[in-house]
A = this chain, B = another copy of it.
Amino acid sequence: MAVYTEVTDEALEAFLADYDIGTLVAFRGIAEGVENSNYSLRTTGGDFILTLYEKRVNPAELPWFLGLMEHLAKHGLVCPQPVAGRDGSALRGLCGRRAAITTFLPGVWPRRVRQAHCGPVGSTLATLHTAGAGYAPRRPNALGPHSWPALLGRCRARADEVQTGLEWQLDAALATILETWPSGLPEGHIHADMFPDNVFFLEDRVSGVIDFYFAATDLLAYDVAVCLNAWCFEPDFSFNVTKSRALLAGYQSVRRLTAAEKAALPALCQGAAMRFLLTRLFDWLNTPPGALVTRKDPLEYLRRLRFHLSATDGGAYGL
Q: Which residues of A contact B (CB under 8 A)?
A: 1-3, 6-10, 12, 23-32, 40, 42, 104-108, 110-112, 114, 200-203, 287, 289-292, 294-295
- A10 & B112 in contact (Cβ 8 Å cutoff): yes
- List the number of copies, as a whole number: 2
CA distance A289 to B10 in the complex (A): 34
CB-CB < 8 A to A42: which residues of B?
A: 106
B289 x A8 contact (CB < 8 A): no
Please judge, given known A-B contacts A108-B9, A108-B26, whether A1 and B202 are in contact too, CB under 8 Å.
no
Question: Is B292's CB under 8 angstroms from A1's CB?
Answer: yes
Known: A29-B30, A32-B28. A9 touches B291 (CB 8 A): no
Closest to A12 in B: B108
Q: What are 29 sample pairs from A and B whose C-beta atoms fall under 8 A apart?
A: A1-B31, A1-B292, A3-B31, A6-B111, A8-B111, A9-B108, A9-B111, A9-B112, A9-B201, A10-B112, A10-B114, A12-B108, A24-B108, A24-B202, A25-B106, A25-B107, A26-B104, A26-B107, A28-B30, A28-B31, A28-B40, A29-B30, A29-B32, A30-B31, A42-B106, A287-B290, A289-B289, A289-B290, A290-B291
Within the complex, the shortest CB–CB distance from A108 to chain B, in Å, comes to 4
Question: Shortest beta-carbon distance, A273 to chain B, in Å?
Answer: 23
Residues of B within 8 A of A9 (CB): 108, 110-112, 201
**Smallest beta-carbon distance A36→chain B, Å:** 12
7 more A-B contacts (CB under 8 A) besides A1-B1, A30-B31?
A: A7-B111, A9-B110, A9-B112, A24-B108, A26-B106, A27-B108, A292-B292
For A49, give the chain B residue with the smallest CB separation: B28
Residues of chain B lying within 8 A (CB to CB) of residue A29: 30-32
A161 to chain B, nearest CB (A): 15
Cα distance, A305 to B110, chains bound together (Å): 47
Report which residue of A12, A24, A28, A107 has the largest number of chain B beta carbons within 10 angstroms of its beta carbon.
Answer: A28
Residues in B neighbouring A291, C-beta threshold 8 A: 290
Q: Considering the complex of A and B, which 6 residue pairs feature the smallest CB-CB distances, nearest first?
A: A29-B31, A289-B289, A1-B1, A8-B111, A27-B108, A8-B112
A7 to B31, CA, bound (A): 13
Closest to A26 in B: B106
Bound together, the chains give a CA A289 to CA B30 distance in angstroms of: 23
Which of A29, A108, A289 has most B Cβ within 10 Å? A108
Chain B residue nearest to A29 (CB atoms) is B31
Residues in chain B near residue A6, CB distance under 8 A: 111
